[in-house]
Chains A and B, each alone.
Chain A
């Protein structure tokens, strides 16, 4: 990737984290840590990978299966002009439709309901399977969390996608290695993610999930081989704010007071 583009994306990542922090502070919303870990994945997708826009039937679609990180999705969609800023600013306000988990509204970039883990990959698999049947060039990218991989339905979808060789499907695992009650390895040992997806018949690439170059290179492999693509993105929960990184507390805690100010300072450097 050219230096200029890389610099722009890194700057954008900071801006999006600030957007997330601000909106979560304003609305007393949690899941900041989960949102921060997925920022570069979303930015690279919308900047470099996703083609077409609603209502184009053949557009690429992104499904955030880890719906609890939706503040990152909303902020990214707003930065790319897919969601109007006036909509983003009404996030989590009384009488408005944008809540802590996305509701299906394709015109503003929300391609499916998510929030109950283990749904996203099945829906994405259905989209990819249908696109193949329609000879549509549309590709589907589904972003999973570590918690998503606890769910049996995720593996049902993984098996189906591999069996039908859905090369137009990409799963990116935002592997921040934490979930609701602690470290994934202490809750349900996930095995080696690479081996697991490979054994299901997926093409697998491992990347640093905060490295925009590695992500861009990995996503460019969608459709290259005759099988679905799994990208295991090694990420840090709470990435970008020292006291939020790898902290379970920030799976829940809305940023407030001094913590908010300190976080804002760190992100603004």
Chain B
């Protein structure tokens, strides 16, 4: 039996090595290869799938414009080890020209790989402090996490006249960055953080935290809590009589608003938005249904659209430097919305 196993292992090595080493054959030297690393399975698959669709829509449009581009997708399961493996495969076997990932969080374990290989990498959804140290080949077309916290702090202090705020955030990289930005700006403006707490992702019972928040007597509560824990927080806040304005972040997606019902009414939150009004129709034409996460679709579509306007190009890195500027980031700024009758309405 051990001999059989040994033979099988040797065959696997030979066959696997053949495919891995064969994969780099370039059939068309003019073809632009885009590698995309996304969570296509696991907890974040719904986001990854929508983003993929957005990229596919734009790839189709570029091909119609006779730009010879192809997208190669690899699943990273939102795991650093898988992301590193996917990156190595795309660079070494597929010989991609540039790559895209969903978030800066996904970019972190693979940034050194792309920098060493001198292959540009573009994060599509968000942008934060990490980009400064990520290396010259890492870019972002996303919305600035820090600025989202700052604009909400300015709005809360200057427009709503709030002076004392309680903050409850997830223990999560995104929530850490946005809540710190919010707190720093709010205090700089003259406000006070009267309560500050962090909860594990997956928390479903916030009653003790809400009780402590109420004891601190804040004017409002800022809660960077990602879906769908935010539904539990909102419902429990309403049940326990937390009657102060609630401020949140772009995790307040329509599904959360629908699930929270009246508990989500009147919440102010910063949110991403789409800059391509044609996208919902394009999505419906291609897939036959309306997207349930059009902002995720847009993040892939708009990032590639921005780059695609410059294609083909002889120097992709120089092109991206020009497109994204010295900060290597679009640093888009989210807008502020309020939930009115179950629908987010932009606050002008």
- Are the chains A and B members of one assembly? no
Chain A residues with a Cβ under 8 A of chain B: none
B binding-site residues for A, Cβ under 8 Å: none
